[in-house]
Every structure is written in structure tokens, then in C-alpha cells.
Chain A
Amino acid sequence: MDTFIETPAIRARNLMVAFGDRTVLNHLSLEVRKGEILGLVGGSGSGKSVLLRTIIGLIAKRQGEIKVLGVDIAEADNAALRALERRWGVLFQQGALFSSLTALQNVQFPMRENLNLSQRLLREVALAKLAMVGLQPRDGDKLPAELSGGMTKRVALARALALEPELVFLDEPTSGLDPIAAGDFDDLIRTLQQTLDLTVFMVTHDLESLRTVCDRIAALADGTMVAIGTMSEVRQSSHPWIEAYFRGKRSHVLVPAPGMTGA
């Protein structure tokens, strides 16, 4: 693996997040390197989505430090924050497409807000983005209510990529998709990551995506990172949750290729 001397894409240190007196994240530290795909795993309710939302600034932290692309979110002023937000894209779990706009208008929305483009270029780029995520131009005229689950995720990914982000956050990108669609989506993420030179931070439950797409895996349990590393490194951890997760009934997808960790 290459040695990275540049600043990491995301660096969280001693992060603590709590709601009322319920501590969700407790002294959590995490580094995401530039250009890698990091998969975050953890049980339901372990705080994966909370961590993602804290990093992108939707949830306030109690303690600790978060730097995204070298910018400290807590200290950045509004202008710096807006500029930073243009450098990342977020794919929400349910897509979060604007329901009154068509798929194409959804993809165009961030461009319209942030760039001063001609109508023609706006349309071409948005259609090109849709084509890159594997959709037909005619899908662009559909409203989100008319899209299938897989198409919704694709449109949401195209929207997340609209402003050419350096960093993409994916919240359970393959949940709710059939295995074929999920596999296609995994390939899509891999291809786009390579073509667009992205850093990807991905929350997932899908063992298959972990195996095929992720460079490194971070495991969240008890409010903190219990293991981080390549698939084989993480699987050697003796933490009870990791043992249960990777040796559970459904982990047989990993058995044929324990060495193939993509790293």
C-alpha cells in the first residue's frame, strides 16, 4: 500500500456525541485516507449514521475534533463551510431526492445553485452524470415517486457527484436493493471512484460490498472504533461483535475468498 504523507480526507479525534445522557460515540478516532474507499460497519443502532452525520455537520459533537479535507468544521466560518460543502457529496439512505423536482432537475439543483452555467451545458452535464450512473435520458424526466429503489439511489448518487466532489459519503448505498442491483451499484461506486479520483466514506451492512469494494474497513461497536484495517486484518480482531459479524450465518460470502480484500 502507498504511504500517504498528505493530509487525510477525514480525521476525527476523541469524538464524543451524546443525546441527552445517552452517549452514542465515546472517544472515537478515525482517519480516512485520500483516494480510498472506507467501509464503516457496526450493528443496528451502534451509531454509524450518527458518526456520518456528525462528520458532515448535521449533528453537533460534545467533544473532540473533526477535520474534513483539512478544514476544522467547528472553527470554520460560514463561507469556509459553504466552500467545504461544495467539495463533498452525500448520498442519504433513502436518497433524499427533492420530491417535486424530476430526476434531472435534482441532479441540476446543486449546479444551478453554485455554478453559473448555460442551460445547454447544465442539461448536458446532468444527463452525462445520469449516464455515468447507468440511467437513460428518459429516466431524467421522471419524478422521484416514479423511480424504483435502485434508480432512486442512482439519481441520488448522480446528485451527490454533481459538483465534482473530492469526498463522497454514502449511507447504506446498497440497502434495499436486490443482490444483482447491489452488485451493479458496487461496481458503479468502484468505477466512479477510479474515474473521478474520489475518496469514499461508506456506511454499509453488505458483506459483499465490504469484500468487493472497500479498501479498508472500520468497525464501530460500543461507541468507539474496535478495529480498522483491511478485511483480513479486521477479521483477526477478537472483539466479540466482530467475531459474531464475520463468522455469523451470513458471512459465508466471505469464505471463498478470504484473501481477496481489495487492498
Chain B
Amino acid sequence: MEDVVAATPLSWARTGDGQVRLTATGAWTAPHAAELECLVQRLTSEPSSAGAASIDMHAIERFDTYGALLLARLSRLLEGRGQPLRVIALADRYQGLFEELRRIDPHTLEASPRSEKNRHPKSLSGGVAEIGRDLIALANMLGALSLTLVAILRRPGHFRLISAVHQLDRVAWQAVPIILLITFLIGGIIAQQGFFHFRKFGADEYVVDMIGILVLREIGVLIVAIMVAGRSGSSYTAELGSMKMREEIDALRTMGVDPIDILLLPRVIALIIALPLLTFLGAMAALCGGGLVAWFYGGMSPEIFLSRLREAISLTHFQVGLIKAPFMALAIGIVACTEGLEVKGSAESLGLKTTASVVKSIFLVIVLDGLFAIFFASIGM
């Protein structure tokens, strides 16, 4: 009365006196580990019998850590049921590996995984506290930059002029083509929409007023600030973040060099100079785009467009747009530097902080724009 379950690579048979004889064949290696685990599971979930168990390993072709681990697990499980397992004819060259795996304390293998940290949904209070911390960090950065600026103003020779000029080249000069293109297109689109809808009321002429005021006061500076936040703010964060990851910023500190002085201030100052310049260029390009569309789509000759524009806009509109630019640049710069210095060791955190930098600086730019709108309205500009 032999109850035989035959399967490769592990088969077993019960003899009459309740003994279990196991036979291992084939490859006890990683590719077969899943199948082996099922067999071990099936064997050990069968009703136990009192007799001893033995496993004949002479027929196995290959044996690796996976096989050894499963053999150790089998032996442990059978032992737990009062059936010590005798391993027979395991080749000498595999003996060391099996012993190694058997020595590992089973409890360490079954240790429960540490609860996944930072995976639970954030609570409302936690979220509010985080916003508070962000604001404090931004205020800190603003304070540190101001202090460094004051120190530099006392000793102007210490200003990192070359670095600032290099940054200015990157954020202003190299950004010119894309800024011109985008604002030109947006000016054109506003003009086209204006003509399309205003024509119904016979108000073609007022399209020029709309383009002029909208571009100079709002759209020009807003579009350019958002572009710069995405283009230069993100690169600042990524740069500073990877320098933080590779301990370059710590290295600077140990050499008695203030990273704010050498890295942050030139970058922020470059941004503050660049954004008004780009805003001016962007506004001009948008007016050109608008004028071109007015000519070809609206049938308004450039002479009429220009004379109409001269009547519609005043220096005030131009000033309103330009005054906002340096403040937006400061907001972008502060956010980019703060996020960059908050990068921790992992690549994931670098990505997170770069995203956060762009999202937060665009948000701040729009909030600032709203505050300025209220301010200018109340002083009558």
C-alpha cells in the first residue's frame, strides 16, 4: 500500500510503516524555484505521519541558493511536525552551501517587513503644517540671501561677478529665442480671437487696446515668468540638488566658503536681472505677433495698428508689467534654491523636489500677480 505522488523535481512516497521517502531530481535552481516551492508546500500540508523522513539528493543535476533555501525550509517544516529530515547523498560540492543556508536563523528570514514609511495618506493637519514649514523655509532663504547681499554690498569686491554673468547667459541670453517664439505666438492668438469675436459688434478697433493692455500689464510678464520657472527654476533645483547629493555643498562649507554666497546669490541675482529683460522682449514679440495677425487676418494695416496702439497704451501699462518682473524672479529663485537644498540622498527625492520647485514657483508667481493687481488698482495705476 504505497501512496505515491510523482512529480519532478521532488517526488515522495510513503512506506507501510509511515516513513516518508523523498527523491529529488533535476535542477534545484532559481528558474525552478517557484515550482519547487509549490511541491514543498504540498508535501508539508499533507497530514503528517509519525515516521521519520529522508530525502535522497543524489540525482540532482544542479543546486543553488534557491534550492538550498527550499531544502532548508523543507527540513525545518518537517522538523516542526516531529519528522526530522535526513538528507542523503547530497554531493560534497553542494554541502557547504546547504550548511550555510541551514545556519541562517529561520526567524530572521521570516521577520516581518517594516511598515512602509511615508506611504500612508497625509492628514489635513499634516498638510497644513507642511505648508507652514514651506513658508518658513522660504522666509529663511529670503533672509539668508538678504544677509549675504548686505555683506556683499559692504564689500562689493567679493561678489561672484563671473558666476553671475555665466548664470545670466544661461537664464537670459539662451532663453531669448524660445521666449520670443512663445510670446509672439500668444500675441497672435490673442489678436485672432479678438478679431473673431469683436467683429460681431463692429468693435475691431478695440482689439488693439485689448492686445496692448493685456500684453503689457499681464500676459507678457506672466507667460515669461512661468517659462522661466519651468526652464531655469527647475534647472537650479536639479543642479543644487545633485550637488547636495554628492556632498559638494558640504565640501564648500568645510572650506569656509558659504554656498549661499557662491552658488545661490549669483543665481538669484541673475534671475532678477533676466526676468525684466525677457519680459520686455516678450512683450515686444507679443505686440509684433498681434500686429501681424491684425494685418493679415484682421485687415488692419500696420500704420493704423501702431497709431491705435499709441492711443490705447501709456507708459503706466508698461511700468506695471515691468515692476512685477523682479519680484516674480525673486520668488522663483528662492523656491528653486530652497527646494534644491532640501534634496536627500535618493534620485527619487531629486525628482520630487524639482517638480515641487516648478509647481510652487508657478503658484507663487500667480499669487504675486494677483496681489500686484490689487495693489495697482488701489494706487490707480
Number of A-B contacts (CB under 8 A): 83
- Which residues A130-177 have CB closer than 8 A to chain B? 131-132, 136-138, 141, 143-146, 161, 163-164
In the assembled complex, how far is the CB of residue B213 from the closest CB belonging to chain A, in whole angstroms?
48
The residue on A at minimum CB distance from B100 is A195
Residues of A with C-beta under 8 A to B101: 128
User: Interface-forming stretch among A13-21, A74-82, A115-123, A251-259?
Assistant: A115-123
- Which residues B243-263 have CB closer than 8 A to chain A? none
Q: Does B126 contact A (CB under 8 A)?
A: no
CA distance A140 to B34 in the complex (A): 23
CA distance A129 to B29 in the complex (A): 15
The residue on A at minimum CB distance from B96 is A195
Whether A99 and B346, one on each chain, are in contact in the complex, defined by CB atoms closer than 8 angstroms, is: yes
CA distance A136 to B344 in the complex (A): 24
CA distance A72 to B333 in the complex (A): 53
Q: Does B367 contact A (CB under 8 A)?
A: no
CA distance A145 to B344 in the complex (A): 8
A137 and B93 in contact (CB under 8 A), knowing A99-B346, A124-B69, A132-B65? Answer: no
From A123, A143, A164, give the contact of B113 (CB < 8 A): A123
Q: Does A7 contact B (CB under 8 A)?
A: no
Whether B109 and A196, one on each chain, are in contact in the complex, defined by CB atoms closer than 8 angstroms, is: no
Residues of A with C-beta under 8 A to B114: 141
Q: Does B66 contact A (CB under 8 A)?
A: yes
Whether A100 and B347, one on each chain, are in contact in the complex, defined by CB atoms closer than 8 angstroms, is: yes
Whether A117 and B346, one on each chain, are in contact in the complex, defined by CB atoms closer than 8 angstroms, is: no
Q: Does A127 contact B (CB under 8 A)?
A: yes
Find the residue from A100, A132, A195 having the highest chain B CB count within 10 A: A195
In the assembled complex, how far is the CB of residue A77 from the closest CB belonging to chain B, in whole angstroms?
20
Q: Does A125 contact B (CB under 8 A)?
A: yes
A128 and B65 in contact (CB under 8 A), knowing A115-B30, A118-B37? Answer: yes
Residues of B with C-beta under 8 A to A99: 345-348
The residue on B at minimum CB distance from A124 is B109
The residue on B at minimum CB distance from A136 is B108
From B30, B97, B104, B346, give the contact of A195 (CB < 8 A): B97
A127 and B33 in contact (CB under 8 A), knowing A164-B65, A164-B66, A196-B97? Answer: no
- Which residues B73-90 have CB closer than 8 A to chain A? 73
In the assembled complex, how far is the CB of residue A132 from the closest CB belonging to chain B, in whole angstroms?
7
Q: Which 10 A-B pairs have the closest CB atoms?
A: A145-B345, A100-B348, A99-B346, A164-B64, A141-B114, A137-B108, A131-B104, A100-B346, A195-B96, A124-B109
8 pairs of residues in contact across A and B, judged by CB atoms under 8 Å: A99-B347, A100-B348, A121-B69, A123-B109, A143-B346, A164-B64, A164-B65, A196-B64
